[in-house]
Amino acid sequence: MVRAITADNVNDALHSGFYWLKVAGRRENSRNGPVIVAPSPVITSYQFPERRVLFHPARDANPVFHLMEAIWMMAGSDQVDWLLQFNSGFGKFAEPDGTVHGAYGYRWRKRWTIDQVLWVINILKTDPTSRRAVIAMWDPLFDLGAHKADLPCNTHIYFCIRDEMLDMTVCCRSNDILWGAYGANAVHMSVLQELIAFELGVPVGMYHQMSNNYHAYLDLPIVQSFLDNPPEPVEYYQQNRVTEVPLLFKEDIRMFIEDCEDMVHGRKPTRVDFLRCVAEPMRESYLLRKEGVHMPMEDQSIDWFRAYTEWCERRD
């Protein structure tokens, strides 16, 4: 039977997910080592997808990489070099020529000579009741039976307007819940959802993640620790943490995409407030930190700044 997890945000989902694997998971072997796998597909439903930042200290997620990867995707890139600044290990997913075969953003916006993001927006603007607003990431001609460093784990995204809000369902063939489902996926998919919702002029609704194979890798010490003691949920709103989740999108979608492309090509964003005032300072601070120069984030009421500050403090 399919397992349904309903969570306020990604921090709650992390707790519920590891608890479910603890009580129901089965140990199996996989291409990448031993895993603990849910006995059936799992659907995680986020009530507030905008609360996408992970705060759990034991999980120790790198917020800069998560945010920069989302920007890289919206830029439609499949070149690994820019991401290596924020995660040197990401190179294992690239081909010898530096391309990432399964890059989501490239498939969203460029692979099939159409921008699927803009097409979905046009479909729902034309017919808000449409059930045909689908973004594809899996291509059987290029992926089925292919031997590549990276194939898309998430295969399709469905969008619909329900109760005058934009709901999104993401289908995933294979989901590592530590790094994927409750890590990077929760960020870049919810960014896409919020972007489309703003362009349609409707609030963000539910984000449903359907994970066909829902698992965690047992050779990672943190996984065994979380299975023994599932991480307690971390409150998104509490004293001295986050007072507001800043909306990403206040400008035209094309302007946002162009600013993302500027960042990936080494130019500073100039028009989109979130990219100019949040993403770019985090990027600069992170790269300066690698050179031994610390540039703190001043406004700790911003969720991304708070998570980055706590990530730095754990290293200092």
- Which DSSP string do the residues of 186-224 spell out, in sequence order? HHHHHHHHHHHHHHHT--EEEEEEEESSEEEETTSHHHH
d(CA 168, CA 206): 6
Phi/psi at 64 (5° precision)? -65, -45
The answer to whether residue 23 sits within a structural domain is yes
The answer to whether residue 265 sits within a structural domain is no
Residue 250's H or E segment, with its range, is none
The answer to whether residue 296 sits within a structural domain is no
The answer to whether residue 302 sits within a structural domain is no
End-to-end C-alpha distance for the chain, whole angstroms: 46
d(CA 305, CA 282): 7
Domain count, the chain: 1
Residue 87: which residues within 8 A CB-CB, separation 6 or more?
62, 65, 69
Q: What is the pairing mode between strands 165-172 and 204-211?
A: parallel
The answer to whether residue 80 sits within a structural domain is yes
Query: For position 120, which CATH number holds?
Result: 3.30.572.10
The answer to whether residue 216 sits within a structural domain is yes
Location of structure tokens 């603990």: 36
pLDDT 10s digit of each residue in the chain, 316 long?
Answer: 899 999 999 999 999 999 999 999 999 999 999 999 999 999 999 999 999 999 999 999 999 999 999 999 999 999 999 999 999 999 999 999 999 999 999 999 999 989 999 999 999 999 999 999 999 999 999 999 999 999 999 999 999 999 999 999 999 999 999 999 999 999 999 999 999 998 999 999 999 999 999 999 999 999 999 999 999 888 886 544 444 445 555 667 888 999 999 999 999 998 888 899 899 999 999 999 999 998 989 888 889 999 999 999 999 8
d(CA 132, CA 313): 46
Q: Which residues does the annotation mark as catalytic?
A: 153
The token pair that represents 22 in the structure block: 């603890």
pLDDT in the model for residue 286: 97
The answer to whether residue 161 sits within a structural domain is yes
Residue 70 CB: number of other CB atoms within 10 A? 24
Parent domain of 224: 3-232
d(CA 215, CA 17): 9
| Contact call for residues 158 and 134 (beta carbons, < 8 A) | yes
pLDDT in the model for residue 235: 80
d(CA 194, CA 49): 8
The answer to whether residue 124 sits within a structural domain is yes
